[in-house]
Amino acid sequence: MNGLAAAVLAAGELVCEFHDGSASDPIAAHMLVYEAITPDSAEVLSTRKPGRNPVSLRANGHAVHLVQLDGPSARVTTITGCTKWKLKRGDEHCMRFEARHAWHFNVRALGSPDAVYARLPSGASSGSCEPWSLD
């Protein structure tokens, strides 16, 4: 497990917000809440799809990929780094993760998320994730 994956696991639950580069309306933001994060899986709630959905967690290379299969496609949130740290009880914890979100029209993202991220589609959304509980 890489250091970024350990920081994601320590967060426990993440609230992520992504913006389409062409959208000027803040209400058009796509929000995701990742719950029950384990070294292999999580559950996601999305503003674009009702209900909780299972997610596979892949900590490969220098990123953490949260992969939600959706029929013959996959929705992937890739966490690439920490942009804000906070000292809590003598330990540093990440308070804001840099992230990208994309919808891939194949399921290769599950087996090779780093390679898929390297060819990220131009329509991928930029955003950030924060722990549900900041204290």
pLDDT tens-place string over residues 77-129: 999 999 999 988 888 899 999 999 998 887 777 788 888 888 887 778 999 99
Q: Which CATH architecture has domain 3-131?
A: Beta Barrel (2.40)
- Give percent of the chain above pLDDT 70: 92
Contacts of 134 (CB under 8 A, 6+ apart): 86, 95
Structure confidence at residue 113 (pLDDT):
85
3-state secondary structure 1-38: CCHHHHHHHHHCCEEEEEECCCCCCHHHCEEEEEECCC
**Which DSSP category does 39 fall into?**
S
pLDDT tens-digit readout, 24-40: 565 557 899 999 999 99
pTM of this structure: 0.88
Structure confidence at residue 27 (pLDDT):
57
Mean pLDDT of 55-79: 91
3-state secondary structure of 133: coil
Backbone angles phi, psi at 12, to 5 degrees: 80, -60
